[in-house]
Amino acid sequence: MGTRGSALALAQSGQAARELERLNPGLQVETVVIKTSGDLFSALPPKQAQAMAPSTKGLFVKEIEEALARGDVDFAVHSAKDMPAELLPGLSIAAYPEREDARDVFIGRDGVDWKRMPAGWRVATSSLRRKYQLLRHAPGAQVVPMRGNVDTRVRKLSEGVCDGLLLAAAGLRRLGRSDVKAQPIDFEQMLPAPGQGALALEVKTGSRAAEIVSRLDDAATRRAVELERAFLAAVGGGCSTPLAALARPKDGGLELSAFWAREDGSGAARLSEVCRDLSRQAEFTSDLAARLRSDR
């Protein structure tokens, strides 16, 4: 099993490995930690990282995909939100396990509530998606760029570097950080990144590993995440594109709620539409993307 070496990557890949071993008695999964270009990118100062951001989509999976294509590992575990719209030729997603909480959360000091955020409150995030949705909710907030793992960000919050943090609920849960007082943010106020909260287990198409790993696939999660990823492909977004997408069952189909803005925050818009024929999801998401960006 190929995975990144961060605490979160090891926690979530470890969960997948244990479940595969449970479903396949006698199977032993060996963890192979692979350092990615994304790990180096994360270590850069915020301003330098922001300058590189347009070309960084997929950097957190690049070296792992290459190892998988070479046969160095049999399968890989990724955060679905880190996956580029296009996979390397010959690779595919064998399983999307049941999705964790897809919401973002707010962690504020001194018990400050997300719904009553004081003007001038310094909120840390390096995500443009979160930044521009935050400013729609709290126009008086100040955004402080911040990168690093959960522990680093929580420590910086306690040190007074910022007054609040925006993080993914799934990451906190998978790390077992129930000690952190986090307020879930309603989807009506902040939509997640495409695939947020879901894992993607990648394999060589048609391999024996694909057959084994596919036992972890959750059909409902696959339908939702693939529609969100189709929207990502339609927009052609990279890490510097402020976009969000969430698919949920509605009226016998999937309702896709999407947010998009230019890199400077202008033209921000949000739309929701029900896709009733998933066999035409590429056409559906292309139309939705065009409507979001038209005349803005």
Which tens digit of pLDDT belongs to each residue from 197-218? 999 999 999 999 999 999 999 9
Q: What is the mean pLDDT of the chain?
A: 91
Q: What are the residues whose beta carbons fall under 8 Å from the beta carbon of 169, sequence distance 6 or more?
A: 100, 101, 102, 103, 104, 105, 182, 184, 197
Q: Which two three-digit tokens encode residue 37? A: 């270009």
Q: Rounded distance, CA 238 to CA 177, Å?
A: 29
Q: What is the pLDDT of residue 21?
A: 98
Residue 82 a catalytic site member: yes
Position with higher pLDDT, 50 vs 73: 73
pLDDT at residue 295 is higher than 80:
no
- Could you tell me where in the chain the CATH 3.40.190.10 domains are found? 1-97+198-217, 104-184
- Could you tell me where in the chain the CATH 3.30.160.40 domains are found? 218-296
Confidence grade of residue 112 (pLDDT, cut at 50, 70, 90): confident
pLDDT at residue 50 is higher than 90:
no
Position with higher pLDDT, 241 vs 26: 26
| CB of 141 closer than 8 Å to CB of 135 | yes
Q: Rounded distance, CA 3 to CA 10, Å?
A: 7
Q: Which two three-digit tokens encode residue 243? A: 């976009």
pLDDT at residue 277 is higher than 70:
yes
Position with higher pLDDT, 89 vs 45: 89
Q: Domain 1-97+198-217 is of which CATH architecture?
A: 3-Layer(aba) Sandwich (3.40)
73-83 tens-digit pLDDT? 999 999 999 99
Q: Which two three-digit tokens encode residue 205? A: 């198409």
What is the DSSP annotation of 78-122? EEGGG--SSPPTTEEEEE-PPP----EEEEEGGG--GGGPPTT-E
Q: What is the pLDDT of residue 37?
A: 81
Q: What is the pLDDT of residue 54?
A: 43
| CB of 265 closer than 8 Å to CB of 296 | no
Sheet of 253-260, strand order = 243-250, 253-260, 269-275
Taken in order 229, 235, 241, 247, is the CA torsion positive or negative?
Answer: negative
- Mean pLDDT throughout 28-47? 76
Q: Domain 104-184 is of which CATH architecture?
A: 3-Layer(aba) Sandwich (3.40)
Q: Rounded distance, CA 156 to CA 151, Å?
A: 9
Catalytic residue among 72, 74, 82, 104: 82
119-164 tens-digit pLDDT? 899 999 989 999 999 999 999 999 999 988 898 999 999 999 999 9
Q: Which two three-digit tokens encode residue 3? A: 């995975």
CATH T-level assignment (fold) for domain 218-296: Double Stranded RNA Binding Domain (3.30.160)
pLDDT at residue 40 is higher than 70:
no
High-pLDDT (> 90) share of the chain, %: 81
Q: What is the pLDDT of residue 55?
A: 46
Q: What are the residues whose beta carbons fall under 8 Å from the beta carbon of 243, sequence distance 6 or more?
A: 129, 193, 194, 231, 232, 235, 237, 258, 259, 260, 261
pLDDT at residue 43 is higher than 60:
no
Confidence grade of residue 294 (pLDDT, cut at 50, 70, 90): confident
Q: What is the pLDDT of residue 239?
A: 58
154-177 tens-digit pLDDT? 999 999 999 999 999 999 999 999
